[in-house]
């Protein structure tokens, strides 16, 4: 427990900065969207505003949380740690601290984004627009945005954990700092492009964490599940390849 | 020595396949006899008649192909272990197998041509120019002859090209089977021959051979299927694939990039260059397959679409990602290199330089050379595609409708120049930011800047990844405006390089 606490404290400054930057950018984007688009539902500014920010979601969920593991290994600290405590145990604690902070950051920022959106939304009355009923929990998005916001933020935080896990794997095995920081982002960016040009955007991992990204017919739970499974598969393959490469 | 082996193998091929060749001769005579009546009806000349017989795809697929598959597999299996160990290496053995088959097949083709001409000579008059086949548009035979006539007015040329294409297709087939025979064994080569035959029939009877042209042998053998039905881009890809396979089987390997100096390996290594080349080739292939899928056969559109980008009126997220990948992938490798140099900064090689500034200048030169090589490759490739494409491509028409500017060769070259200058500018910007902050910040900064340009196109910050759309939009605003932008990009790029260079003198 003591180790988790120490690791968390080490990450706290990075966490604070990341939370501040992520919140600022998200709020700015929501505000911009709210003022420049026709708002029909309270959560619409969040839907429009979070989409551009989500391009950098993989950066927000990796860079602030993975660097300690990289430097622990680079500075040969892990060799000394193994004399006091089992290396695996120590690494698990480090990872848990990173994942926990990442989870809290994503949950907090996104939920505050929802609250900000509800406050900012200047709903245009008398305009007939498309409803959200076709989407997953569409009724809840319309009628109970607070509850939906909490659920969505929780879900997105879980996805943040997945991306952070990939980042941690890179941090543990990759020796190049630049590559370690940007590899998860580059992979997701490429995956987004390839699924986009091949007409398979509904199965893209990016679609799983961008709210209402595509038309309701494409945003089916099974499609999102395919995207998530592909990403988990990719993470496992990456880990295996990196282990093989290191050996 | 090789000549003698090939000669004996060619003779053996004739002797060992007498029965099959006799059967093939009978079928060819039958096909030639059946075509006589048709040719008389349409008043064809001798060479048009010979062309009609020789390009009969039913004869090729149902008679020639199965017979040739049997002959090739027999030819490959006929090698005894004693003969195998006489060759210098496997490559030489495969080369002899393929060359002997090709020589034999050339003889075979010319004898077929001779037989057909002899059958036709008593009935038809020799003709230098092709007849007029434009009248009846519903007759399959006349349509086919009409397409060949459009390809070349002289039927002898059409015949020779069709025969040459047969030679190419069957040599490709021999190369594939020879590779399988040597890697996996003779049983697998027979199985592969059966699979190829089945695939060819499937491709011939469905539209799959048009969608996936490289997969089906009919496109490698039958000239009019490969070129007239599938279109020029598919044809070029098929020919390139076939040539690649033949060269590979003959023992040629892609040239490897020469190993750099030690500093070169520490900055942009050979492996990085290869990955970049493969990456950009992958992007081009994706674009090409999209084009084929849309039924667009104009390669000029491949050049236009590859560097299309976004502008104020056309904001496509996927288009933006693509242009980002094109512009920023070399910077990604430069970023990796900077990080690597920081990691190994105490290496003895760095101490050989007179000063840190001197070392920095050498490294920057390596980066600039890499970026210029990358941009140069794209520039040459796209310009070639543009030059060889047709004038009235769908994309050119769409651009003309949007901007009122005809995208001519000078325009395209202008855009390519802007692309190269912007690549240099991006490198300078990336290096400047990485010196102030670090390479990760620089890379994220550039992507963010580009993304802001996509979201708010009206603000026109630095256009760090302009495509053709942005180029035409700028031209629409005035050529002077374009020149100012280019001058700005150039002055910043060279200003940065000048400053770095100056630091060396300050150090001395």
Judging contacts by C-beta atoms under 8 Å, the chain B residues touching residue A179 are 336, 339
Interface check for A194 against chain B (CB to CB < 8 A): the answer is yes
Please give the pLDDT value at position B498.
78
Locate the chain A residue with the closest alpha carbon to B452. Answer: A52
- Percent helix, strand, coil in chain B (nearest 5)? 80, 0, 20
Calculate the average pLDDT of chain B. 85
E strand map for B25-120: none
Report whether B49 contacts B34 (CB < 8 A).
no
Which of B321, B340, B439 comes nearest A196 by C-beta? B321
Kindly indicate the confidence band of residue B422, based on its pLDDT and cuts at 50, 70 and 90: very high
Which of B204-213, B267-276, B322-331 is most confident? B322-331
Locate the chain A residue with the closest alpha carbon to B322. Answer: A193
* Cβ count within 10 A of residue B257: 14
A177 CA: distance to closest CA in chain B (Å): 6
Please give the pLDDT value at position A155.
95
Judging contacts by C-beta atoms under 8 Å, the chain B residues touching residue A55 are 451
Please give the pLDDT value at position B332.
94
Which of B248-257, B278-287, B307-316 is most confident? B278-287
Judging contacts by C-beta atoms under 8 Å, the chain A residues touching residue B267 are none
Which of A182, A190, A198 comes nearest B440 by C-beta? A182
* Cβ count within 10 A of residue A96: 14
DSSP code of residue B64: I
Judging contacts by C-beta atoms under 8 Å, the chain B residues touching residue A63 are 440
Beta-carbon contacts of A38 under 8 Å, excluding residues fewer than 6 positions away, are: A124, A127, A129
Closest among A37, A32, A40, A34 to A124, alpha carbons compared: A40
Interface check for B315 against chain A (CB to CB < 8 A): the answer is no
Q: Report the C-alpha dihedral over residues A100, A105, A106, A107, rounded to 10 degrees.
A: 80
Locate the chain B residue with the closest alpha carbon to A59. Answer: B444
All structural domains of chain A with their residue ranges = 2-246
* Cβ count within 10 A of residue A68: 19
Report whether B310 contacts B249 (CB < 8 A).
no
Report whether A31 contacts A48 (CB < 8 A).
no
CB within 8 Å: A55 and B451: yes
CB within 8 Å: A190 and B325: yes
Which residue has better confidence, B498 or A32? A32
Q: Is the pLDDT of residue B25 over 70?
A: yes
Interface check for B317 against chain A (CB to CB < 8 A): the answer is yes
Judging contacts by C-beta atoms under 8 Å, the chain A residues touching residue B322 are 193, 197
Judging contacts by C-beta atoms under 8 Å, the chain A residues touching residue B343 are 175-177
What percent of chain B clears pLDDT 70, i.e. is strictly above it? 95
For testing contact with chain A, the best of B268, B275, B294, B339 (most A CBs within 10 A): B339
Which residue has better confidence, B253 or A70? A70
CB within 8 Å: B343 and A63: no
A193 CA: distance to closest CA in chain B (Å): 6
Interface check for A176 against chain B (CB to CB < 8 A): the answer is yes
Beta-carbon contacts of A118 under 8 Å, excluding residues fewer than 6 positions away, are: A42, A43, A145, A146, A149
Judging contacts by C-beta atoms under 8 Å, the chain A residues touching residue B440 are 63, 177-178, 181-182
Please give the pLDDT value at position B493.
86
Report whether A92 contacts A139 (CB < 8 A).
no
Q: Is the pLDDT of residue B135 over 60?
A: no
Range A136-151 average pLDDT: 88
B67: region left, alpha or beta (phi > 0 left; psi from -120 to 50 alpha): alpha
- Prediction ipTM score: 0.91
Judging contacts by C-beta atoms under 8 Å, the chain A residues touching residue B336 are 176, 178-179
B447 CA: distance to closest CA in chain A (Å): 10
Which residue has better confidence, A174 or B357? A174
Interface check for B321 against chain A (CB to CB < 8 A): the answer is yes
Interface check for A173 against chain B (CB to CB < 8 A): the answer is no
A43 CA: distance to closest CA in chain B (Å): 21
- Residue that the structure tokens 């034999």 belong to: B104
Both structure tokens of B407: 């995208």
CA-to-CA separations, B105 to A148, A227, B278, in angstroms, rounded: 72, 52, 36
Judging contacts by C-beta atoms under 8 Å, the chain B residues touching residue A198 are 286
Please give the pLDDT value at position B507.
56
Range B369-386 average pLDDT: 92
DSSP code of residue B254: P
CB within 8 Å: A193 and B321: yes
List, as own/partner pairs, every contact residues B447-456 make where C-beta atoms lie below 8 angstroms and the sequence separation is at least 24, other chains included. Answer: B447/B324, B447/B328, B448/A56, B450/B320, B450/B324, B450/B327, B450/B328, B451/A52, B451/A55, B451/B320, B454/B310, B454/B315, B454/B317, B454/B320, B455/A52
Interface check for B344 against chain A (CB to CB < 8 A): the answer is no
Please give the pLDDT value at position B329.
94
CB within 8 Å: B455 and A52: yes
Report whether B192 contacts B177 (CB < 8 A).
yes
> Angle formed by the axes of helices A177-197 and B270-293, to 10°?
10
* Cβ count within 10 A of residue A17: 11
Interface check for B343 against chain A (CB to CB < 8 A): the answer is yes
A113: region left, alpha or beta (phi > 0 left; psi from -120 to 50 alpha): alpha
Interface check for B30 against chain A (CB to CB < 8 A): the answer is no
Please give the pLDDT value at position A193.
92
Q: Is the pLDDT of residue B458 over 70?
A: no
Please give the pLDDT value at position B258.
56
Q: Is the pLDDT of residue B459 over 70?
A: no
Locate the chain B residue with the closest alpha carbon to A63. Answer: B440
Q: Is the pLDDT of residue B257 over 60?
A: no
Locate the chain B residue with the closest alpha carbon to A36. Answer: B456
Judging contacts by C-beta atoms under 8 Å, the chain A residues touching residue B335 are 178, 182
B355-375: b or e for each residue (b if 16 or more CB lie within 10 Å)? eebebbbbbbebbbebbbbbb
Q: Is the pLDDT of residue B469 over 70?
A: yes
- Residues making up chain B, counted from first to last: 508
Q: What is the pTM of this model?
A: 0.72
- Residue that the structure tokens 């102030």 belong to: B436
B258 CA: distance to closest CA in chain A (Å): 24
Which of A175, A181, A197 comes nearest B440 by C-beta? A181
Lowest mean pLDDT among A65-79, A193-207, B136-150: B136-150
Lowest mean pLDDT among A197-206, A223-232, A233-242, B474-483: B474-483
pLDDT tens across B97-121, in order? 889 999 999 999 999 999 999 998 8
Which of B321, B339, B340 comes nearest A189 by C-beta? B321
Closest among A177, A187, A178 to A239, alpha carbons compared: A187
A223: region left, alpha or beta (phi > 0 left; psi from -120 to 50 alpha): alpha
B130 CA: distance to closest CA in chain A (Å): 44
Judging contacts by C-beta atoms under 8 Å, the chain A residues touching residue B332 are 182, 186
For testing contact with chain A, the best of B275, B335, B341, B457 (most A CBs within 10 A): B335
Cα–Cα dist B307/B310, whole Å: 9
Closest among B35, B34, B42, B32 to B134, alpha carbons compared: B42
CB within 8 Å: A196 and B448: no
- Residues making up chain A, counted from first to last: 247
Locate the chain A residue with the closest alpha carbon to B291. Answer: A197
Interface check for B338 against chain A (CB to CB < 8 A): the answer is yes
Please give the pLDDT value at position A16.
94
Range B271-284 average pLDDT: 91
Judging contacts by C-beta atoms under 8 Å, the chain B residues touching residue A56 are 444, 448
Which of A59, A179, A193 comes nearest B339 by C-beta? A179
> Angle formed by the axes of helices A87-120 and A145-173, to 10°?
150
CB within 8 Å: B451 and A179: no
Cα–Cα dist B101/B168, whole Å: 11
CB within 8 Å: A182 and B318: no
């Amino acid at each position: 427990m003591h180790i988790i606490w120490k690791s968390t404290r080490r990450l706290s400054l990075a966490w604070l900065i990341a939370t501040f930057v992520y919140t600022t950018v998200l709020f700015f984007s929501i505000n911009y969207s709210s003022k420049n688009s026709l708002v029909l539902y309270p959560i619409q500014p969040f839907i429009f505003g979070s989409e551009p920010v989500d391009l950098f979601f993989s950066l927000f969920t990796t860079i602030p949380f993975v660097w300690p593991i990289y430097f622990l290994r680079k500075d040969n600290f892990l060799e000394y740690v193994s004399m006091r405590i089992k290396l695996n145990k120590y690494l698990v604690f480090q990872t848990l601290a990173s994942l926990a902070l990442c989870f809290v950051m994503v949950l907090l920022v996104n939920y505050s984004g929802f609250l900000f959106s509800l406050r900012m939304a200047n709903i245009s009355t008398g305009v007939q627009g498309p409803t959200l009923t076709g989407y997953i929990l569409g009724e809840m998005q319309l009628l109970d945005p607070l509850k939906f916001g909490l659920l969505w933020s929780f879900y997105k935080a879980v996805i943040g954990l997945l991306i952070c896990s990939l980042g941690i794997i890179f941090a543990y095995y990759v020796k190049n700092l630049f590559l370690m920081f940007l590899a998860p982002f580059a992979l997701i960016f490429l995956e987004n492009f390839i699924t986009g040009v091949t007409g398979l955007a509904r199965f893209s991992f990016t679609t799983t964490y961008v709210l209402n990204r595509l038309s309701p017919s494409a945003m089916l739970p099974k499609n999102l599940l395919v995207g998530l499974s592909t990403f988990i598969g990719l993470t496992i393959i990456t880990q295996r390849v990196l282990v093989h490469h290191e050996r | 020595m090789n000549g003698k082996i090939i000669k004996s193998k060619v003779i053996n091929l004739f002797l060992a396949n007498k029965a099959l060749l006799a059967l093939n001769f009978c079928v060819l005579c039958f096909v030639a006899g059946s075509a006589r009546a048709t040719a008389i009806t349409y008043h064809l000349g001798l060479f048009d008649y010979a062309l009609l017989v020789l390009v009969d795809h039913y004869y090729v697929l149902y008679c020639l192909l199965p017979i040739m598959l049997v002959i090739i597999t027999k030819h490959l299996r006929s090698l005894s272990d004693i003969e195998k160990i006489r060759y210098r290496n496997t490559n030489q053995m495969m080369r002899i197998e393929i060359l002997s088959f090709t020589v034999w097949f050339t003889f075979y083709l010319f004898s077929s041509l001779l037989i057909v001409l002899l059958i036709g000579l008593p009935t038809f008059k020799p003709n230098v120019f092709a007849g007029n086949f434009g009248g009846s548009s519903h007759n399959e035979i006349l349509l086919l002859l009409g397409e060949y006539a459009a390809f070349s007015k002289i039927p002898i040329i059409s015949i020779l090209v069709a025969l040459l294409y047969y030679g190419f297709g069957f040599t490709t087939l021999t190369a594939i089977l020879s590779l399988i025979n040597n890697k996996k064994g003779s049983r697998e080569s027979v199985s592969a021959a059966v699979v190829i035959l089945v695939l060819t029939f499937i491709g011939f009877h469905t539209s799959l051979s048009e969608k996936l042209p490289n997969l089906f042998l009919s496109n490698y053998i039958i000239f009019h299927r490969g070129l007239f039905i599938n279109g020029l881009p598919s044809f070029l890809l098929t020919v390139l694939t076939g040539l690649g396979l033949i060269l590979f089987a003959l023992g040629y390997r892609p040239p490897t990039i020469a190993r750099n100096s030690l500093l070169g390996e520490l900055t942009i290594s050979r492996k990085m260059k290869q990955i970049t080349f493969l990456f950009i080739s992958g992007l081009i292939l994706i674009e090409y397959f999209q084009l084929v899928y849309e039924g667009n056969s104009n390669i000029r559109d491949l050049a236009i679409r590859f560097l299309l980008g976004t502008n104020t009126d056309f904001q496509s997220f996927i288009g933006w990602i693509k242009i980002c990948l094109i512009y920023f992938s070399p910077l990604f490798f430069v970023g990796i290199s900077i990080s690597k140099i920081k990691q190994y900064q105490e290496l003895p090689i760095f101490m050989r330089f007179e000063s840190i500034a001197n070392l920095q200048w050498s490294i920057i030169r390596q980066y600039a050379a890499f970026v210029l090589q990358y941009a140069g490759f794209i520039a040459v490739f796209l310009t070639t595609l543009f030059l060889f494409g047709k004038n009235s491509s769908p994309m050119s028409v769409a651009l003309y409708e949007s901007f009122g500017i005809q995208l001519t060769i000078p325009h395209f070259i202008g855009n390519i120049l802007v692309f190269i200058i912007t690549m240099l500018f991006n490198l300078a910007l990336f290096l400047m930011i990485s010196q102030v902050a670090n390479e990760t910040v620089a890379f994220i900064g550039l992507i963010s800047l580009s993304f802001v340009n996509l979201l708010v196109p009206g603000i026109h910050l630095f256009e760090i990844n302009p495509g053709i759309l942005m180029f035409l939009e700028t031209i629409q605003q005035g050529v002077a405006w374009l020149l100012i932008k280019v001058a700005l990009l150039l002055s910043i790029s060279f200003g940065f390089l000048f400053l770095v260079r100056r630091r060396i003198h300050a150090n001395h």
